[in-house]
A and B are shown apart, each in its own frame.
Chain A
Amino acid sequence: MSTAPSTTQVLSLYREFLRNATKFNNYNFKNYFIRRSRDAFNSGKTLKTQEEITNAYTKAQQELEVLKRQSLISRLYSFEKLVVEPLNGSHKK
């Protein structure tokens, strides 16, 4: 049984999640994964025991690999932007 990850490690993992979620080209997937990552890490705050935290951390690391691959695929296959989505990525209405 390894020791539980430090706060810095968890925060760094969270940032990685957000970075990869934002890279999705698909509007719906991007928004979902940002929301899901945020809520998952928020609810993770209630975890108490070392074992729980370590398990959640290990699982999240595996999920991050999936997210990395899929955000790349999303960039490889892009479709037209949605009617709610700005053509120029930066502009916010």
Chain B
Amino acid sequence: MQSIKAFTSITSRGVLFQTQRRFIQTSTVVKAATATAATATADDLPLDIPSTSAAAAATNEAFKTNPLNGTRPIYLDMQATTPTDPRVLDKMLQFYTGLYGNPHSNTHSYGWETDKEIEKARKNIADLIGADPKEIIFTSGATESNNMAIKGVPRFYSKTKKHIITVKTEHKCILDSARHMQDEGFEVTYLKVGEDGLIDLNELEAAIRPDTALVSVMAVNNEIGVIQPVAEIGKICKRHKVFFHSDCAQAVGKIPINVNEMNIDLLSISSHKIYGPKGVGAIYVRRRPRVRLDPIITGGGQERGLRSGTLAPSLISGFGEAARIINEDMEYDQQHIKRLSKKLTDGLLALEHTQLNGSATARYPGCVNVSFAYVEGESLLMALKDIALSSGSACTSASLEPSYVLHALGADDALAHSSIRFGVGRFTTEEEIDYVIKAITERVEFLRELSPLWEMVKEGIDLNTIEWSGH
């Protein structure tokens, strides 16, 4: 009985934090689960689920971790953020120990030495995307870069252009900026995506109008890892003389990006997605032909007047070092990620009633989004306290709403709710992947055993034919 209670209390939001806190104090998930069950009140247990001692044994079996090992979860949420590479930290430390000059002070050597480091970083970042260093503007992160592009360009050209095109599966900061622009009187077209998550190029071309100021399409999706045909989109935009912005926070350093070959006019980069420090990013703004935009932050006129404010030398040079490493090691890292990702995908899809979300071919291998039918994603995440995962974007993981990205692919609520995103990165080991496959397999099976829906599926009842009462 206790184990069943544990399961239901895990799924109940009311004791969520209790469960989490207890997990930190105790060494195994078994303890955490049973401890919560013991303290759970009757309110938390709405149903009287019949239980057997077999089920209790199953819980213990399913949630068992090796007591001889540690308790810190495996990190598999590389789309949210990546660990800071020690080599990046090494670069950054000198700015906290000796190089403290203001990079904009040009009257003394303290300023010159930090300025020199910033320019080195700028070059490393420019090299990563095939740009000129003068075209790189440092910002506080990809969200600021995206805001700058979506708001800045249409505002500058607002006398003649009144239209913006973007995609339904874009990151929240793009969609929200676009919403703001609608309030300012701009029209926004949100392109649909197919079941594979890709946009239709003909639809894009048809949506372009004479007064279109900007097209914004992300390169790699943060939830499903689908790669949009950026080069083709660039060609279309060039032909129609429309500015093309691409949010490449998840793409830079992972897939080859070249702003000239792909005809990208504005491009957002984030440092902490490429093993750099958090709190810094950049936007590439093309100089020839010149792209003009209204700055959001004005002041001292730093960064070509597009982003005023003193630069953070430590963060920027860490960002630059991260860019240099990921540029040099792209092939090596990607080989590793591809191998582990294939192993993970094969292992997870070997479970019955699972499916990979998004295109199977046009995808970045480091992002694997899988749906486990008849299991609720959040309860699976609760049962997987020993693996750090997310059911979608970190920005929206606080709400229990299903992912709008999966909705845009045409997934129904049930499927969107049962999806989990796995991120593989430079520092992921094969041992971790083996552990994850084993843990997921065991716990999905365990949770399904508890589900009455699963029983019906096993008996061959089509769930769509059932008429549910009480709706």
Contact = CB atoms under 8 A, between A and B. Distances in A.
Contact of B70 (A35, A66, A73, A82): A82
Interface string B47-86: 0000000000000000001101111111100000001001
Contacts of A74: 86
Q: Is the interface of A mostly helix, strand, loop or mixed?
A: helix
A83 B386 contact: yes
A32 to B, nearest CB: 5
A81 B428 CA distance: 15
B435 A80 contact: no
B68 A83 contact: no
Contacts of A39: 332
Interface residues of B, number: 26
B401 interface: no
Interface in B288-333: 332
Contact of B65 (A32, A79, A83, A91): A83
A80 B86 contact: no
B90 A88 contact: no
B68 A29 contact: no
Contact of B72 (A33, A71, A82): A82
Contacts of A45: none
Given A32-B426, A70-B90, A82 B74 contact: yes
B462 interface: no
A39 B83 CA distance: 22
Contacts of B75: 28
A29 B427 contact: yes
A44 interface: no
B396 interface: no
Contacts of B74: 82-84
A23 to B, nearest CB: 12
Contacts of A87: 68-70
Contact of A80 (B71, B83, B431): B71
Contacts of A84: 69, 74, 429, 431-432, 435
Contacts of B70: 80-83, 85-87
Interface magnitude class on chain A: 20 to 34
A28 B72 contact: no
A44 to B, nearest CB: 13
Contacts of B427: 28-29, 31-32
A93 B72 contact: no
A20 to B, nearest CB: 11
Given A28-B427, A28-B428, A83 B66 contact: yes
Nearest to B433: A84
Contacts of A67: 86
Interface in A1-52: 24, 27-29, 31-33, 35-36, 39
Interface of B: 65-66, 68-75, 83, 86-87, 89-90, 332, 336, 386-387, 426-429, 431-432, 435
Interface of A: 24, 27-29, 31-33, 35-36, 39, 63, 66-67, 69-71, 73-74, 79-88, 91, 93
The 10 closest A-B CB pairs, nearest first, are A81-B70, A70-B86, A28-B427, A80-B72, A83-B386, A66-B90, A31-B429, A82-B72, A32-B427, A85-B70
Given A66-B87, A83-B73, 10 more contacts: A28-B428, A29-B83, A32-B427, A36-B332, A73-B86, A74-B86, A79-B72, A86-B70, A91-B68, A93-B66
